Amino acid sequence: MGEKIKKFRKDKEISLKELSKNSGVKEDLIKDIEDGEIIPSLAPLIKISRSLGIRLGTLLDDTIEEGPVIVREGKAGKVIHFSGQEDETSESHLDFYSLAAGKVDRHMEPFIVQVEPHHDKFKLSSHEGEEFIYVLKGEIEILYGKEKYHLKEGDSIYYDSIVPHHLHTRGDKPAKILAVVYTPF
C-alpha cells in the first residue's frame, strides 16, 4: 500500500511536504507508510487518498474486475492490517479482509474484520463518510463522540464517521465483524 501511495504521489509530482499539507497528515507519518515502516489507521489513508484524488479502494486493490465481484466463503481478499489505535504503530489489531477488491468505481468498501483484543492507548478517528458494522462473532465496543455502545453477535450500528469514533473488542476475546465503509470521493 505504501508503494502505491508513493507511486501516485510521484506520478502527480507531489512532494511529501505538499501531500502532508493537502491531506493534513504528518509528513513523517506519510514517509513511514510509504516505506512500510508502520501499520496506519484507516483515517490517514482516507485523507491521503482524497488528497491524491483517488479512491481508498485504489490503494487496497491488486486487480480490477469489470463485472460483479463474487467472493466465495473462505476466499476473502488479501488481509489489510490497520492499527486501530495511534497513527504510528508496528502492530495490527484490525485485520481487514476485502469483499470487493478489484471492483471498479465502487463507493462502498465492504470488509470482514478480525478484531483482536488489546489494551493499548488509542485515539478516536474521524473521516468523511459513513460506516455500517454488523457483529458476526464476539463482542465489540464502539466509542462514538461522547457515547459508548456495546454490541454483541447479531447487533449492528450505522453512523456518520465524521464524528470521532473507535472500535475495539470488549474483553479479552477476539471478535469478527462485517464493516461497510463509505467515503465520498
Does pLDDT of 180 surpass 90?
yes
Q: Where are the alpha helices (DSSP H) in 35-138?
A: 42-52, 56-60
Percentage of the chain lying above the pLDDT 90 cut: 38
Query: What local confidence, expressed as pLDDT, does residue 65 receive?
Result: 56
In this structure, the number of other CB atoms found within 10 A of the CB of residue 68 comes to 7
Model confidence at 8, in pLDDT bands (50, 70, 90)? confident
Angstrom distance (rounded) from CA 165 to CA 28: 24
Mean pLDDT of the residues in the chain: 83
Classify domain 2-60 at the CATH superfamily level: lambda repressor-like DNA-binding domains (1.10.260.40)
Query: What local confidence, expressed as pLDDT, does residue 87 receive?
Result: 44
Question: Which pLDDT tens digit goes with each residue over 106-123?
Answer: 788 899 999 989 777 777
Query: What local confidence, expressed as pLDDT, does residue 81 receive?
Result: 57
C-alpha cell at 1: 500500500
- Nearest-CA neighbor of 181 among 102, 71, 119, 96? 96
Q: What are phi and psi of 48, to 5 degrees?
A: -65, -45
- Mean of the pLDDT values across residues 60-67? 61
Domains 2-60 and 79-182 agree in fold:
no
Query: What local confidence, expressed as pLDDT, does residue 86 receive?
Result: 44
CATH of 79-182, one of 3.40.50.20, 1.25.40.10, 2.60.120.10, 3.40.640.10: 2.60.120.10
- Mean of the pLDDT values across residues 139-154? 96
**Can you give the residue ranges of every domain in the chain?**
2-60, 79-182
